[in-house]
Amino acid sequence: MQLALPSRDYYLKADSEGDMKAYHRYMTEVAKLLGANASRASDELQDVIRFERELASVSSAWFCANVFGFMVHLVEYMDRGYGRGNGGMEEIA
């Protein structure tokens, strides 16, 4: 999943609040240039940012869970003796 800003940190870390305000101002200005009502655009784009923050937090948790799950399966695979010799296709007796 691709978020609008280059890193999830912008959405999740408190020290990025200034960047998030600038992002909101930018989106609001673009919406106004496209003919949107300034007040309504500001409110609705604040909702968009809240939604993006939720996506960032969920995607981080999802990514960590999947990496952890992959590592568990890899360790189990190696513990069974797979992946050694014969191109990794046979189990070691």
Predicted local distance difference test score (pLDDT) of residue 56: 85
Domain with 46 in it: 9-88
2 lies in a domain?
Answer: no
Q: Which of 62, 31, 61 is nearest to 46 (CA)?
A: 31
- Establish if 19 belongs to a structural domain: yes
Number of domains within the chain: 1
pLDDT at 9: 82
Cα 79 from Cα 11, distance rounded (Å):
39
Q: Mean pLDDT, 10 residues at a time, over the chain (93 residues)? A: 77 89 93 93 92 82 60 66 51 46
Contact 74, 80 (CB under 8 A): no
**Tell me, what's the pLDDT at 5?**
81
Residue 20 φ then ψ, to 5°: -65, -35
* pLDDT number for residue 6: 77
pTM: 0.61
Q: Angle at which helices 17-33 and 38-79 pack, to 10 degrees?
A: 130
Would you mind telling me the total number of residues written for the chain in this entry? 93
> What local confidence, expressed as pLDDT, does residue 92 receive?
46
Distance of alpha carbon 82 from alpha carbon 93, whole angstroms: 10
Query: Which pLDDT value is given to residue 46?
Result: 93
| Residue 26 counted as domain residue | yes
